[in-house]
Amino acid sequence: MDKETSPLAYARVAGVLYLVIIVFGIFSEAFVRSSLFVQGDTAATASNILASQGLFRVGFFADSVMFLCDVAVAVLLFILLKPVSKTLALVAMFFRLTQTAVIAMNLLNYHAAVLLLGSSAYAGALEPGQLHSLSHFFLELHAHGYDLGLLFFGVHCFLLGRLVIRSGYIPKVLGILMMAAAVAYLIGSYTRFLFPSYLAAITPVYIVAFVSELAFGLWLLVKGLRLEEWNRRVGGSGAG
């Protein structure tokens, strides 16, 4: 890969991985967790998980693919945006990597639910109601851990948007959209922790994040970046 084509290649790989993250993330949330988790009904949730353990574990797989791709995207975006400001791009990368680490570790809470329900050792030590409640608690903890990770991701999106706006080789409107996504993530996550009774009411704000990230991922995949402006940035600046 020669020097002139590598930024375009990096952009398109980042675009592919970004779309994988979106698809797998929506699948695990909308088609796995939402279909199995029954808010406030521990017995029904436990019954759903036991009846669909394969689907539950596919949800784990989807989330794991998502965060593995996220590590690569974090590095690729740093490479693509460091000509704008190496310092800011580095900070943005570390916020995204921190989010990825939090969500990856948080998957243990998700997996704990099926470990509890599927183990004869736990079934013998706890009453069914206790077992169901504990499993349900781990799933609640997973939801909170996910939103904790999204706090870091919200900051990443804000910094990413700022970098894109300043870049000149990725459309400014995509930077504005990513900053809007940042606001959506921060509102959603802080609402879960600070105002949980309003969580259902603010859920539609995530549409903003979905549209923004989808647009960004598609642009990277289809258009990449403006090579002329990239080369001018690389050749004419020591961005710090």
Model confidence over 129-176: pLDDT tens digits? 999 999 999 999 999 999 999 999 999 999 999 999 999 999 999 999
Residue in 89, 76, 92, 86 with CA at minimum distance from that of residue 21: 76
pLDDT of residue 12 exceeding 80, the answer is: yes
Confidence of residue 238 (pLDDT cuts 50, 70, 90): very low
Tokens standing for 73? 């995207």
Instruction: Provide the sign of the torsion angle of the four alpha carbons 41, 192, 208, 26, taken in this order.
Output: negative
Q: How far apart are CA 173 and CA 218, in angstroms?
A: 14
The pTM of the full predicted model, rounded to 2 decimals, is 0.92
pLDDT at 156: 98
pLDDT at 236: 63
Amino acid at 114: V
Give the residue extent of every domain in the chain.
Answer: 6-233
Model confidence over 81-130: pLDDT tens digits? 999 999 999 999 999 999 999 999 999 999 999 999 987 777 777 788 99
